[in-house]
Amino acid sequence: MNVGEEILKAAARELEEETAISLSTAELRQVGPYHAPGRDPRGRVVTIAYTATLPTPVPPAAGDDASDARWWPLDALPDLAFDHDQILKDAQAPRSTV
């Protein structure tokens, strides 16, 4: 996040910078916060994860500090870093409508 930036705007900006996929903040759905100490061995990192449903398939393009961007079938994912497998499971879980 940039100084003074709202979290949803940061998420939409980062999505576009890293993948060239542009979505409005209204199209993002928060999965949740991930903040356990030690979740990233490089240092203290707090993540707020989001999902979105694209109306039509869009090919991602790596940008900014991403070396690659592509879609993977959920049943053929490569090994995921840190707690990213849990984030992905949480993103696929049914949402409560309370």
- pLDDT by residue, tens only, the chain of 98 residues: 999 999 999 999 999 999 999 999 999 999 999 999 999 999 999 999 999 999 898 999 998 888 899 999 999 999 999 999 999 999 999 876 65
* pTM for the full predicted model: 0.86
Q: Which residues in the chain belong to E strands, given as ranges?
A: 29-34, 47-51
Two tokens, residue 2: 């940039």
Q: Which alpha helices (DSSP H) does 20-97 contain, by range? A: 84-92
Contact at 8 Å (CB) between 21 and 15?
Answer: yes
